[in-house]
Amino acid sequence: MTLARDDTIIHVHGISQSEPLVDALADIWAEAHPELAAGSDEERPGGVDGFRRQINGHFRHAGFTLAVAYRSGTLVGFGYGFPCTAEYWYGEELLPRIPAEAHEGLMGLCEGAVRPGWQSQGIGTLLHQRLIHAVSPRWASLLVRPDNLRARALYDRLGYRYAGPYRSDGETYDLLLARVADEVSA
């Protein structure tokens, strides 16, 4: 599936088309998250190697979907997610705090990144729209670092609301949740 808007082209891929792109995605992720990409330690595994492990682990999920953005033939951004159960995504701590209606038809949006030179040009919004259209969930959820104010502003504009703190690997993230418009998920 391809969507073109202005000079931005969005392609949507499944697992087999996504696997060869991991190194390019890792480069984009590192550029967009230099504070995280610098490295990792034994206490907090992460960095670019952590991103690679994460995406390779997520390939096992049925419905894995990757949206990639190109400008003038250059890969400038991506986002990926997959349908998942509420138990998997929210975890035991948050599950009771999530509205019951948000337990069904859920997509976990796992990662999204746009190269710094192309940020604030609507590419993140386009990638999000394509993922929502391709996966067709009733609800979408994601994690964002509390100090990532630019990403949080984007997610607020896209209709996400704070659902609670999510703790993983010694870090605390904001878990955000959005109801997807019926006409988009139909």
Percent of the chain with pLDDT over 70: 90
Q: Mean pLDDT of all residues in the chain?
A: 89
User: pLDDT value at position 45?
Assistant: 55
Look-up of token digits 């940020």: 119
User: pLDDT value at position 185?
Assistant: 43
Name the band, by pLDDT with cuts 50, 70 and 90, for residue 2.
Answer: low
- DSSP, collapsed to helix, strand or coil, labels residue 9 as strand
> What pTM does this model have?
0.89
- Tokens found for residue 82: 């997959």
- On whether the CB atoms of residues 11 and 73 are closer than 8 A, the answer is no
- DSSP, collapsed to helix, strand or coil, labels residue 59 as coil
User: pLDDT value at position 177?
Assistant: 96
User: pLDDT value at position 169?
Assistant: 77
Q: 150: alpha, beta or left, given left = phi > 0 and alpha = psi -120 to 50?
A: alpha
Q: How far apart are CA 49 and CA 156, in angstroms?
A: 29
CA dihedral 59, 26, 12, 163 (to 10 degrees): 70
**pLDDT 10s digits, 161-170:** 999 999 887 8
